[in-house]
Amino acid sequence: MLQNFSQASSLKKGLRPPKTNIIPPKTIPNVRRYDTITELFPNKTAVPQMRLSFPESADPVGHVCFNWYSDVCTFFVAVPFSCGQEFSSDVSKNGTFTSPNYPEPYPADVYCVYSFMGRGKERVQIQFTDFDLHLPHEPPRDCDSVDAVMVFITINGQKERVDNFCGNKLPAQLMSNGPSMSVEFRSYHSSPEVKGFRAIYKFVTDFGIYAARQDSQSVCGFNFNSEDRKNGTFTSPNFPGYYPRNTECHYFFKGKPKERVHITFNKFDVDGIPPCTTDTASDYVEFSNFRTVDRGYPRHCGVKKPKYIESQGEFFRVTFKSNDKFDGTGFEALYHFKPYIDQSSVQRISSTSTNSTSSDVRVSTYTFILVPVVVMLMINV
């Protein structure tokens, strides 16, 4: 609370209006000189406060305060606002989190940490539904020196940054590489025009892939059976958001006897440099007619979509693998189980049909030629 100087016990009549002149010590960080109390709280923003009191003349650390109403000087300084929330999958599998005061403007000098902790195979999925942070008049090259949201994951025991987000562009949907993730919000400024952010969080085990049955033998495996459905779509984890790092997923297609799997890619954005080897630190997609590696197919990465693919048998496997370096939005593809047509049989049938047609043509020609001859013989007789 601010001190009510009008009710000070030692009010001295006839003196000039109240004014507090404060020179904060250099030893207190993030504090500047405040000539009036109103300057301390511009626009009535709810800024955290620290109360200091000391004798009027001077205090031991060098404050100088002139208080016309009391021999004790009391003032407040702004200190950085800290906040944080912890979300556990034991408490709730989903929910929302926001910037301070949302949808009202957030205060300046804010630092908030939102921690998410799941269990086992759970992944943290975050989707921003509103995003509006203060930006200076000159747009920055990056988000390092402005109000921003920062997302972190843990890789090999080390905290790694996924990305920074600033301005008012809605971030892509995000997913952790394991059961934990942290989101940090940092503000330097405040503005009555901005309202901060709102996001939805979920603890999921399906990797955001909803169109198939999960394979119980794989951490990230999905079965597509012809008996269940003849066609549909399948995607990379968390599509159309950024796929998670350090993740390997398998898609198993199982057709009926004499069926083949046909696959067409609609979208493809997998970080990497062809031929997508380990040396280039590339994420990749690969295909196989077996449960093991099939050397008949090359790996695919980058933004060039793979060509139309047809399996050699009723079983087919697609593998997606990401490393711990970069991210992409992944892929979306169509699959279709179709009856197998033996092309050699088609050629034999076509050849037989062509030969039969030629014989018919020859017979008709001979008949046409012989008829006039018979007529001529009859006339001569």
DSSP string, 248-289: EEEEEEE--TTEEEEEEEEEEEB---TT--GGGT--EEEEES
Integer-rounded Cα radius of gyration of the chain: 37
Tokens of 168: 């008012």
| Residues sharing a CB contact under 8 Å with residue 131, sequence separation 6 or more, in sequence order | 149, 165, 168, 169, 170, 171, 197
**At 347, is the pLDDT very low, low, confident or very high (cuts 50, 70, 90)?**
low
Higher-pLDDT residue of 112, 377: 112
Say if 85-204 and 213-339 have the same CATH topology. Answer: yes
| Average pLDDT of the chain, as a whole number | 78
**In terms of C-beta density within 10 A (0-12 exposed, 13-18 middle, 19 or more buried), how is residue 362 classed?**
exposed
Model pLDDT, residue 208: 95
Spatial CA neighbour of 235 closest among 276, 202, 270: 270
Instruction: Decide yes or no: CATH 2.30.30.90 for domain 213-339.
Output: no
Model pLDDT, residue 60: 44
- What are the residue ranges spanned by the domains of the chain? 85-204, 213-339
Model pLDDT, residue 54: 46
**At 82, is the pLDDT very low, low, confident or very high (cuts 50, 70, 90)?**
low
Spatial CA neighbour of 152 closest among 162, 164, 143: 162
∠ Cα 299 301 302 (to 5°) = 155
Assigned architecture for domain 85-204: Sandwich (2.60)
Tokens of 327: 């991210």
Is the model's pLDDT at 20 over the cut of 50?
Answer: no
Model pLDDT, residue 72: 54
Spatial CA neighbour of 320 closest among 310, 328, 311: 328
Give the pLDDT confidence of 217-256 residue by residue, as tens digits: 889 999 999 999 999 999 999 999 999 999 999 999 999 9
